[in-house]
């Protein structure tokens, strides 16, 4: 059996390798010629995924994995292209940038007022999905199975993919060809393992399509492969990331409350999580990545007046970088009052989360922009992103007035020594946005400001 995978990003390429390993002949397709050239020359465009380089080498060497910029006839087509979002509207973010009073007013406005008509802040850009669908339609023939893995707003598989394929080919879905949505659920940083061991939800457009897609996934997935309909599968995928986003929004709201009450939110959450049915996630500078920061909007766009909690959670998380700025401005004012205005800010971490080199929707990048807009000289360090890795950690920290920890890479835990950082900085001031630094930093004499940690006099 031949499988054609369209889109060779974080999902498509590892999937191509795993499917090849399961015994299929695979063609990986991407319109980005840099990716194709790199792969053809033995390179790899995805880093920090354990085992991926080895499995890719094996697949290419055995001759069963090829890459191209065009699809070919196949038995199974998988669409794994990105679904970016269109940013339509900035009112929410801007209005929350100012102060708590404005923020509270905005929060009190009904969702209906805020998201009236086309005023949705983000909507899914389905142009890549549509283009991939049209591209493969040329090669579709009777008996083929088409699988959409890209994350999409509910209804897309039926309303867009099925419609385009039937219109373009004259073939009938469920009779001449088969179509299912099989959302990916892998965690960046652990993709290969999760591709094989996670359970999969398979949404057939009709029963036969579901059966065929389930049989295909069972040939390489070791987790359970569960059949449902396409729209349910689309919603399930979005619910998973929305659940996590709402949980983090709650943690972030608790952090803001803790600052006002003089409580350490990280300690408080660890105590609350001792309850057997409570699991609050961690607060931080915001939620990034191409999944949690985007997917909830795909629900909001189809039911804006109903998805109230979801949009409020997005609002809380997407405005956390402004809160980091407020904390920083308090520090900058104190430094200026002491006659030592801030001349250099060292930002540690640019990626959206620990131990990956991905800066899509990264709150760290947002904070960097906000600081630059206010005229503060910023030096960014990130061991996983080439453009932020040219200076050594020592050079980034040297003569800095404020160090802001934005991404909790393990490497920082290993390499940042308080006494060394203390001696290198011009002023020993640290803003910790991730509950990262222990008490030894306070003991060393740093002025420590921690997001979510309020000061109490007793
Ligand atoms: N974050 C917090 N606090 C936490 C956990 C995360 O602030 O306690 C932040 C991270 O720093 C990051 C963002 O949330 O900025 C997202 O990180 P993540 O690790 O929660 O998720 P992703 O985006 O890397 O991967 C998610 C996963 N979804 C779920 O866990 C429900 C993954 O399984 C999905 O396949 C992936 O989205 C996707 O592709 O949709």
Per mean pLDDT, which range of 81-85, 228-232, 242-246 is the poorest?
81-85
pLDDT-based confidence at 118, cuts 50/70/90? very low
- Is the CB–ligand 1 distance for residue 329 below 6 Å? no
- The pLDDT score that the predictor gives to residue 121 is 64
Best mutation site among 149, 238, 287, 360 for ligand 1 pocket (most ligand atoms within 8 Å of CB):
287
Q: How far is the CA of 319 from the centre of ligand 1 (A)?
A: 17
Best mutation site among 14, 188, 360 for ligand 1 pocket (most ligand atoms within 8 Å of CB):
188
- Is the CB–ligand 1 distance for residue 296 below 6 Å? no
In this structure, the answer to whether residues 206 and 326 fall within a common structural domain is no
**Domain for residue 145, yes or no?**
yes
Atom of ligand 1 nearest to the CA of 295: 40
Question: Which among 195, 228, 261 is the end of a domain?
Answer: 228
What span, in angstroms and rounded, lies between the C-alpha atoms of 379 and 388? 9
In this structure, the answer to whether residues 35 and 154 fall within a common structural domain is yes
pLDDT-based confidence at 253, cuts 50/70/90? very high
- Is the CB–ligand 1 distance for residue 321 below 6 Å? no
What span, in angstroms and rounded, lies between the C-alpha atoms of 456 and 263? 7
What span, in angstroms and rounded, lies between the C-alpha atoms of 342 and 377? 8
Distance of CA 42 to the CA centre of its chain: 27
Question: Which among 212, 228, 244 is the end of a domain?
Answer: 228
25-29 and 65-68 beta bridge pairing: parallel
Q: How far is the CA of 352 from the centre of ligand 1 (A)?
A: 9
Question: Which among 207, 228, 249 is the end of a domain?
Answer: 228
**Domain for residue 282, yes or no?**
no
Atom of ligand 1 nearest to the CA of 288: 15
Tell me the per-residue pLDDT of 371-414, one tens digit each, with 9 for 90 and over: 999 999 999 999 999 999 999 999 999 999 999 999 999 999 99
Q: Average the pLDDT over 279-306 and give the result.
A: 94
**Domain for residue 272, yes or no?**
no
- The pLDDT score that the predictor gives to residue 161 is 98
Domain of residue 339: give its range: 320-450
How is residue 388 written in tokens? 């932020």
Query: For the chain, what's the residue count?
Result: 458
**Domain for residue 115, yes or no?**
no
What span, in angstroms and rounded, lies between the C-alpha atoms of 18 and 21? 5
Distance of CA 422 to the CA centre of its chain: 33
- The pLDDT score that the predictor gives to residue 99 is 37
Measured by CA distance, the residue closest to atom 32 of ligand 1 is: 187
In this structure, the answer to whether residues 218 and 344 fall within a common structural domain is no
Q: How far is the CA of 291 from the centre of ligand 1 (A)?
A: 7
Measured by CA distance, the residue closest to atom 27 of ligand 1 is: 187
User: Cβ atoms within 10 A of the Cβ of 18, count?
Assistant: 20
Atom of ligand 1 nearest to the CA of 245: 14
Domain count, the chain: 2
What span, in angstroms and rounded, lies between the C-alpha atoms of 343 and 11? 42
Measured by CA distance, the residue closest to atom 11 of ligand 1 is: 353
In this structure, the answer to whether residues 178 and 325 fall within a common structural domain is no
Give the residue numbers marked as catalytic: 237, 291
90 pLDDT higher than 90: no
- The pLDDT score that the predictor gives to residue 110 is 41
Q: How far is the CA of 295 from the centre of ligand 1 (A)?
A: 11
**Domain for residue 105, yes or no?**
no
Q: How far is the CA of 198 from the centre of ligand 1 (A)?
A: 15
Any idea what the CATH number is for the domain that residue 185 is in? 3.40.50.720
Q: How far is the CA of 421 from the centre of ligand 1 (A)?
A: 30
**Domain for residue 373, yes or no?**
yes
**Domain for residue 202, yes or no?**
yes
- Is the CB–ligand 1 distance for residue 356 below 6 Å? no
- Is the CB–ligand 1 distance for residue 352 below 6 Å? yes
Tell me the per-residue pLDDT of 92-111, one tens digit each, with 9 for 90 and over: 444 333 334 333 434 444 43
Measured in degrees and rounded to the nearest 5, phi and psi for residue 408 equal: -90, 60
Tell me the per-residue pLDDT of 345-367, one tens digit each, with 9 for 90 and over: 999 999 999 999 999 999 999 99
- Is the CB–ligand 1 distance for residue 255 below 6 Å? no
In this structure, the answer to whether residues 62 and 196 fall within a common structural domain is yes
- Is the CB–ligand 1 distance for residue 294 below 6 Å? no
pTM for the whole thing?
0.90
Atom of ligand 1 nearest to the CA of 354: 11
**Domain for residue 305, yes or no?**
no
What span, in angstroms and rounded, lies between the C-alpha atoms of 204 and 229? 5
pLDDT-based confidence at 450, cuts 50/70/90? very high
């Amino acid at each position: 059996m031949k499988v054609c995978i369209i889109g060779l990003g974080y999902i498509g390429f590892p999937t191509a390798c795993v499917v090849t390993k399961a015994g299929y002949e695979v063609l990986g397709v991407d319109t980005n010629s840099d990716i194709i050239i790199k792969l053809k020359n033995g390179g790899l465009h995805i880093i920090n995924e354990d085992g991926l380089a080895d499995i890719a080498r094996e697949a290419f060497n055995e001759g069963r994995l090829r890459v191209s910029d065009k699809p070919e006839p196949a038995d199974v087509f998988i669409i794994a292209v990105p679904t970016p979002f269109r940013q339509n509207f900035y009112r929410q973010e801007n209005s929350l940038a100012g102060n708590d009073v404005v923020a509270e007013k905005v929060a009190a406005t009904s969702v209906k007022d805020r998201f009236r008509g086309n005023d949705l802040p983000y909507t899914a850009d389905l142009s890549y999905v549509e283009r991939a669908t049209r591209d493969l339609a040329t090669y579709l023939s009777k008996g083929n199975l088409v699988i959409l893995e890209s994350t999409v707003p509910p209804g897309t598989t039926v309303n867009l993919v099925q419609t385009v394929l039937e219109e373009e080919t004259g073939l009938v879905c469920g009779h001449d060809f088969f179509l299912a949505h099989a959302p990916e659920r892998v965690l960046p940083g652990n993709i290969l393992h999760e591709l094989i061991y996670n359970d999969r939800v398979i949404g057939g457009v009709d029963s036969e399509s579901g059966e065929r897609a389930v049989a295909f996934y069972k040939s390489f997935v070791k987790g359970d492969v569960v059949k449902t309909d396409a729209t349910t599968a689309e919603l399930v995928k979005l619910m998973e990331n929305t659940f996590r986003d709402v949980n983090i929004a709650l943690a972030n709201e608790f952090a803001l409350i803790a600052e006002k009450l003089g409580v350490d939110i990280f300690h408080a959450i660890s105590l609350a999580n001792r309850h057997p049915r409570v699991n609050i996630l961690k607060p931080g500078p915001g939620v990034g990545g191409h999944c949690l920061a985007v997917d909830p909007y795909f629900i909001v766009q189809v039911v804006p007046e109903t998805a109230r909690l979801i949009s409020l959670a997005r609002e809380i998380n997407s405005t956390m970088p402004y809160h980091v700025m407020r904390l920083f401005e308090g520090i900058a004012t104190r430094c200026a009052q002491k006659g030592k205005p801030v001349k250099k800010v060292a930002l540690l971490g640019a990626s959206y989360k620990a131990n990956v080199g991905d800066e899509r929707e990264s709150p760290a990048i947002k904070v960097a922009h906000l600081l630059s807009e206010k005229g503060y000289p910023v030096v960014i360090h990130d061991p996983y992103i080439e453009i932020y890795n040219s200076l050594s950690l020592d050079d980034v920290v040297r003569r800095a007035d404020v160090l802001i920890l934005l991404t909790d890479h393990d490497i920082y835990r290993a390499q940042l020594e308080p006494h060394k950082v203390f001696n290198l900085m011009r002023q020993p001031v640290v803003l910790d946005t991730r509950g990262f630094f222990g008490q030894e930093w306070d003991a060393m004499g740093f002025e420590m400001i921690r997001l979510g940690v309020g000061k109490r006099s007793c």
